Amino acid sequence: MARVELFRQYGVSDKQIHLSPLCTDNKRFYLPDKAKQTDFIFCGRFVDFKRPLFAMEMARAVAIRLGRRTSISFVGSGAMESEMRDFANQISDHVDTHFVGYVSQAELPACYGDARIFLFPSEGDVWGVVANEACAAGLPVIVSPHAGAAGELVVDGSNGYVRDMDLAAWTDAAVDLLTDEAKYQRFSHSSLARVGEYTFENAALGLANAIRQARQASRAS
């Protein structure tokens, strides 16, 4: 995994590496019988570095490629909402844009359950627990390489696509998943499998092992 490799590059031995992953309550997000009503979902703050307008542009490009109207849900709020609503009106012939607004943790699973693909076009996230939530819901994820979850929780070609912020590349990835049901199902199952390691139990175990080792080292010195 990328984070392990980073520590190895600093000369840290495997015995000294203890992983404590960021996580969410995976079981709460899995709603297998929920009908998929929306092509895409974006969940987060409506600020520039999260690139919500890029997600909208991609939804329009996918609609043109598929020859049908696409749909996207935005969960959250932020300073860009007015600009986003204006753009949604401009592209309404191609994209049905739904602004969900702020939702509680109890309401989040249903939002993910409505969608087919999670879009995470961030230009800078240390991790991105929203990716955990999406994977726990069984969604393939398209993510930029600037989110920490990219390449670790979201593995290119396994449970999603890691793509540079290039509109054509994201459009290709989305069209691929929306037109190949067998691949979509493989990616969906892979998301569930990969996020299964990201639990509170494993997070606690990693911390406990690190503390135990530090205590043993201090006693030996």
**pTM of the full structure:** 0.93
pLDDT value at position 99?
A: 98
Per-residue model confidence (pLDDT) at position 12: 83
The pLDDT, as a whole number, for residue 159 is 98
State both tokens at 190. Answer: 């892979």
Tell me the C-alpha distance between 199 and 174, whole Å. 28
pLDDT at 71: 98
Give residue 15's pLDDT: 84
* Angle of CA points 74, 119, 26, to nearest 5°: 90
**Beta strands across the sheet bearing 95-101:** 95-101, 70-75, 38-43, 115-120, 141-143, 160-162
Q: How do the pLDDT tens digits run along the chain, 221 residues long?
A: 466 777 788 888 888 888 899 999 999 999 988 899 999 999 999 999 999 999 999 999 999 999 999 999 999 999 999 999 999 999 999 999 999 999 999 999 999 999 999 999 999 999 999 999 999 999 999 999 999 999 999 999 999 999 999 999 999 999 999 999 999 999 999 999 999 999 999 999 999 998 998 888 778 76
Name the token pair of 24. 């969410």
What pLDDT score was predicted for residue 2?
61
Question: Of 110, 86, 99, which is closest to residue 31 (Cα–Cα)?
Answer: 110
The secondary element (H helix, E strand) that includes residue 71 is strand 70-75
Q: What is the DSSP-derived secondary structure letter of residue 96?
A: E
Residue 132 belongs to a domain? yes
- Amino acid 115: pLDDT: 98
Predicted confidence at residue 178, as pLDDT, reads: 98
Whether residue 32 is contained in a domain is answered as: no
Nearest to 142 by CA among 24, 54, 21: 54
Q: Are strands 70-75 and 141-143 parallel, antiparallel or unpaired?
A: unpaired
CATH code of the domain covering residue 150: 3.40.50.2000
**What is the domain extent for residue 91?**
46-198
Calculate helix-pair angle for 52-66, 81-90, nearest 10 degrees. Answer: 10
Residue 21 lies in a domain: no
Task: Report if residue 119 sits inside a domain.
Answer: yes
pLDDT recorded at residue 211: 92
Q: Output the CA angle 177-160-37, nearest 5 degrees.
A: 50
Q: Residue 107 falls within a domain, yes or no?
A: yes
Residue 220, in any domain of the structure? no
Is the residue at 167 inside a domain?
yes
Quick check: is 219 in a domain? no
| The predicted structure's pLDDT at residue 10 | 82
Q: How many domains does the chain have?
A: 1
Report the distance separating Cα 42 and Cα 95, nearest Å. 14
Q: Name the residue among 55, 221, 14 with its Cα closest to residue 142.
A: 55
